[in-house]
Amino acid sequence: MDYSEVARSIVKAVGGKQNIRSLTHCVTRLRFYLKDEQKASDTTVKDIDGVLGVNHQSGQYQIIIGNGVGTYYDNIMALGGIQAANADTTSDAAEDETKGHTNLFDTFANFISSCMSPLIPALIGGGMMKVIVILLPLIHVLSTTSQTYKILAIFGDAPFYFLPVMLAFTAANYFKVSQILAVVIAGIMIHPNFLAMVNAAKPVHFIGIPVTLFNYSSSVIPILMVVWAMKYIEKGLKRVIPNSIKSIALPLLEIFIMGFLALIVIGPIGSFAGKGLSAAILFIQSKVGWLAMALMAAFMPLIVMTGMHWLSRQFS
């Protein structure tokens, strides 16, 4: 297959380079942000060799390729004149919402997709590593007490444990706030000393205010809510801080304010949502087991998309 020729055919079928605002991809799909989707021909795209289907979702024109999507993406970008999706383009759906171009669900779905899609390779790699760690002792290649086993387990756990940090980076990219400061806030939420306080299960106060203790490692919703709030806090601070001290005062105040909100207000709200979900599922399962199975099957796509399955698992 001539991938360069296929790339040219795809670009032509979606309306040409001039109609492409930007392009990104996930594990199986090319995700185009088009200026005018009416100029793209679904029929023509589907007839292209290697294309499995087309989907319109969350302000994206998605071309389903399969596992070889990376090769198609590279060849399309090699044509030149096409911008890779970044904060300026992936957040266009949020801006369109205010103009009435998209509904709230599409905007939310675009947000989740923009934040989660870049993490998929790390999650796949970590998941496969965890499978290997499980299999090696079963086939008597490694002992569960060996140091090699324990280090391999760290390899598999790392992408999931530091999920809030990775999400902080992608969410900051989406909301156009400081990525480094967003990562710092995520670091505060999973700092070893804070987790030690959580494990100690003793009352903790910050400037006299009680801190709700949660383990935010592997969580999703709390950090997404925090970075969303950070968008407004950062914008407000930039307006009120004099330029002469902004380079020092802005990061100082942003870390303090967002750290406070993350541990005292926003983080607990997201975690309580996960706890409530878990409690509701366990209650229904204990009373009407068949209904719990049906509800989980029906809502699992939404639960996984929003990352609530991670939160509920922590409290189950």
Residue 292, C-beta contacts closer than 8 angstroms, at least 6 positions apart:
281, 284, 285
**316-to-194, 276, 280, 312 alpha-carbon distances in Å:** 22, 10, 11, 6
Cβ(186)–Cβ(165) below 8 Å: yes
266 neighbors 257 (Cβ within 8 angstroms): no
115 is catalytic: no
What pLDDT is recorded for position 94?
Answer: 47
What's the pLDDT at 164? 93
Cβ(257)–Cβ(185) under 8 Å?
no
How do the domains of the chain map onto residue ranges?
A: 3-85, 163-315
Q: What is the CATH number of domain 3-85?
A: 3.30.1360.60
At 315 the pLDDT is 38
For 170-180, what is the mean pLDDT?
91
Report whether pLDDT(46) > 80: yes
Over residues 148-168, the pLDDT tens digits come to 999 999 999 999 999 999 999
Residue 93 predicted with pLDDT over 60: no
pLDDT of residue 310: 47
Q: Label residues 200-221 b or e (16+ Cβ within 10 Å = b).
A: eeeeeeeeeeebebbebbbbbb
Q: What value does the mean pLDDT take over residues 14-38?
A: 88
Q: Looking at the predicted structure, is the pLDDT value of residue 78 above 80?
A: yes
Is pTM beyond 0.75? Reply is no
| Options 3, 12, 21, 26, the catalytic residue | 26
pLDDT of residue 314: 41
